[in-house]
Structures are given as structure tokens and as C-alpha cells.
Structure 1
Amino acid sequence: MKRSQYAVIGLGRFGSSLAKELIELGYEVLGIDKDEEAVDEMSEKLTHVVVADSTDEEVLRSLGIRNIDCAIVAIGDDIQSSILTAILLKDIGVKQVVAKALSELHGKVLQKIGVDRVIYPERDMGIRVAHQLVSPNLLDYIELSKDYTIAELTVPKRLCGRSLRELDTRAKYGCSVVAINKKNSVIIAPTASDTLDDQDIMVIIGTNQQIELFENEVRR
């Protein structure tokens, strides 16, 4: 089966980190930046790297960008270039266009022009760090939508040895334990009879309010 091919446009801190991780995961990555230094730095780390102006339609077409499965616009500080690049990628017919937004307004514009997914790295990281700071048992926090969140909570000693049936999180709090990460294994879709041990990590899905209620109970 053919692996997906990615293009990362903008090789600043975010773009280069994303591109390198995609390479680590085994995908082919085309890196594009108008800064020659940024391109040189990534030349041996990505599948292909080119110095190019992504706001030039002919240049993008000559790079075969239409054949890319997913293009990520990771341009750091030039909102105009980000928007123009996204418009061109959509016009050329790239299957999936993802773009980094520098602000809420920038994100709204990207959505209006049809970008498939808008990401807010700084905002999202700030939210995750804030939740981790105020919740000692919270290891990670990802907002899935406006209504639902997925969170990782360490199992406190007071819950060790208890089964999911005893916790009954769905009935009491409205959230669900969808996985338990144990020392040497992961239980996906655990049953009511599965028990919690010291140092286990519960993966929970629910609304922010439901998870907060459960997390407050866990901290008692």
C-alpha cells in the first residue's frame, strides 16, 4: 500500500519539527521554504527540500504539488503569504490542505477559503499546559471538538485495586474510560471487570465539565 506523501511549506520551528516527525513515522516529506538557510538545514533530514516562493502558482505546479496527499502551510509570521499559499493549494487541487493559524481571525479566513483543517499550535499548547498545571493527575489534554475532550489521568493510590464497575464513571460523571495504559500493555475498550493499578494511566473521553467533575473526585 502506497504511503501518504506530505508537503510542509514553511520550515520554521513548527514546520521543521512537524516535517521531521512525519519522516520518523516513515512518510515522504517535501519541504518548501523561501529561506535558503532553512532549506539547507533540513536538506539531509527530509525526502526533498526546495527553496521556493509558495505564493507563485507556477512554482507550486512545477513541484508536482497536486500529487501530494496532504500539504501543511506552516508559514510562521506572514499571514498574507499563508493565505495566498492556502488558496493556491486548494485551486491546484491538493487532496488535503492543513494550515497553521497565527490568530483567531487568521484561522477564520483560512476556514472561509476552504482549508480542510486549521491548527493553532501556540493556543492549543497553552491550553494543554494550563490544564496540566492546575490538575496534578492530568498528563495530557486534547480538545476533540467544542463539546468533547480526551484526557489522560494517572490513577491515584486511593483508586488502586478498584474496578471500572465500581468507579462507574459513565453513570456518575457522564465520561467514559476508553483505555487503560498499564506498565507493559494497553487495554483498549476496557470492560467493567478491569481493575486499576498503581501507576496506571486512564484515557477518558467526555465534556470538559464531566472530566473536571471526575478529576475533582479523583483528587479527594
Structure 2
Amino acid sequence: MKKKEYGVFGLGKFGMAVALRLAEAGNSVVAVDSDPDRIDEIANSVTCAMVADIADPDVLENLGISNLDCVVVGVSTDMQASIMATIIAKEKGVPFIVSKAENEMHKHILEKVGADKIVFPEAEMGGRVARNLMGGDFVDLVELSSEFSMVEMPVPEGWIGKGLRELDVRGTYGLNIIGVKHGEVLEVNMNPENPLEKEMTLVIVGKNVNLAKVGVEI
């Protein structure tokens, strides 16, 4: 699969995390921020890191923004810079633009100027934490779509001492166990005959309705 080329403009906590994760996956990442310290922090981890004003059309033009597959506008507290960077990316024909919003008014403006996806990272993380707290005794949950999720959860009491073959989780619940964690070590090719232990954590993927059958409420 061809790796994509991304631009991440604004390296706060959100932008920094996005840029590093994209780079770790082997993608080309152009990171831009007005703070030299942030650029120094990320320079060795991305394809290109540049100190610049993201609201300056000439700067983005020189970066070859029109050649990028996606731009993530990670700055939100400077609303003018956020809006201008989104407008410029749109005008230059970037296929997909993700912009971070500070509030509903900001979100509305970004929609008007062409952002394809708008995110409220803090609010979304808060919602995720709340769902985790309310969803039962599991470690972490990631919604892959409106219907599917991936969850890390302790071994259910009734599964302890039984192997994956005996449990037949796919046939019984319509779920896939993609890994078993021992502390921080993830094993993805576990012997299906080996019994599950109480201290283990299961990594499970499946439909939300099926995850509910093992106690995960989403």
C-alpha cells in the first residue's frame, strides 16, 4: 500500500501526537509550527519540520502543499491562523483537510471554509474516558466505526483456565481475539490450546452489539 503524504500544521499536544503517529506508520509528514522548540523536538521524527507562519500563503505554497494527500490543521487557539490555513489548503486542492476547533463557532466557520473533518480532541477524549468508565471493567476502547470497536479487557471469569480453541469466541460471540497481553507484552500468535490466565488482557475486535455480549457497553 502506497504511503501517503501528510501536512501537520500546529504542533501542540494534538498536532504533535498526530504527526508522530503518522510518521511511525511510515508516512511522509511535513510538520510546521511557529515555535522553534517544538520543531526541534520533532525534527528527527518526521520527513520535514519547518518553523513558519501557517497563515502565510507563500509559506504553504513553498512547502508544496498542493502535493499533499491530507492536511491536519492542529492549531485552534489562534482562530485566524486556523481558518487561514484551512482556506489555503482548500484553495490549493488538498484532497482531505482535518481541522481542530476550539468551540462551536470555530467549528461552524471551518465547515464554511472547506474543512472535511473537524475535531474537538479534548472533548472526544473526554467522551472516550467517560464511555470507558461506564462501559464495565475494561482497560481501553477504540471505536473503529459506528458499528465496530476494538477493546482491551481482562479475561472474563468464566474464560479463565480455558484455551481459545475451546472458547471459540468467534463462533460463540462473533468476536475476534487479535492478541493477548501479558503486562505490556502483546502476543498475537497465542497457542489456542494454552489456557487463559486471570492476569492477562485480551485485545478483541468486533461489532458493538457482539461486544455487549461479553459485558462491553459502548
TM-score range, shorter chain: 0.7 to 0.9
Number of the residue aligned with 1:102: 102
| Cα distance per residue 1:150-178 (max 9 Å; x no partner) | 14133312234363479844xxxxxx424
Is 1:185 aligned to residue 185 of structure 2? Answer: no
Cα 1:83–1:181 change in 2 (3 A) is same
In structure 2, distance between residues paired with 1:51 and 1:151: 37
SS in 2 for 1:7: strand
Number of the residue aligned with 2:69: 69
| Cα distance per residue 1:30-74 (max 9 Å; x no partner) | 111123333233333322122222222222112111111211101
In structure 2, distance between residues paired with 1:113 and 1:195: 56
**Alignment partner of 2:167 out of 145, 163, 166:** 163
Q: CA deviation at 1:133?
A: 2.8
Q: Percent identity?
A: 33
8 Å contact kept, 1:86–1:110: yes
Cα 1:216–1:141 change in 2 (3 A) is closer
Is 1:37 aligned to residue 40 of structure 2? Answer: no
TM-score by length of 2: 0.75
Q: CA deviation at 1:195?
A: 11
Give the letter aligned to residue 167 of structure 2: S
Give the letter aligned to residue 84 of structure 2: L
In structure 2, distance between residues paired with 1:4 and 1:53: 24
* 1:16-165 superposed matches below 5 A: 16-144=16-144, 147-152=146-151, 153-160=153-160, 161=162, 163-164=167-168
Number of the residue aligned with 1:202: 204
In structure 2, distance between residues paired with 1:125 and 1:77: 18
Q: Alignment length, in residue pairs?
A: 203
Q: CA deviation at 1:214?
A: 4.5
Cα 1:68–1:211 change in 2 (3 A) is same
In structure 1, distance between residues paired with 2:47 and 2:10: 15
Give the letter aligned to residue 3 of structure 1: K
TM-score by length of 1: 0.74
8 Å contact kept, 2:169–2:175: no
CA-based RMSD: 3.3
| Cα distance per residue 1:118-175 (max 9 Å; x no partner) | 2222112112222333345322223445x53514133312234363479844xxxxxx
In structure 2, distance between residues paired with 1:114 and 1:125: 24
Q: CA deviation at 1:212?
A: 5.1
Give the letter aligned to residue 34 of structure 1: S
8 Å contact kept, 2:170–2:176: no
Give the letter aligned to residue 202 of structure 1: I
Unaligned runs of 5+ in 1: 170-175, 188-193
In structure 1, distance between residues paired with 2:195 and 2:204: 9
Cα 1:202–1:25 change in 2 (3 A) is closer
Unaligned runs of 5+ in 2: 182-186
In structure 1, distance between residues paired with 2:49 and 2:170: 55
Give the letter aligned to residue 182 of structure 1: V
SS in 2 for 1:182: strand
Runs of 4+ with >6 A deviation: none
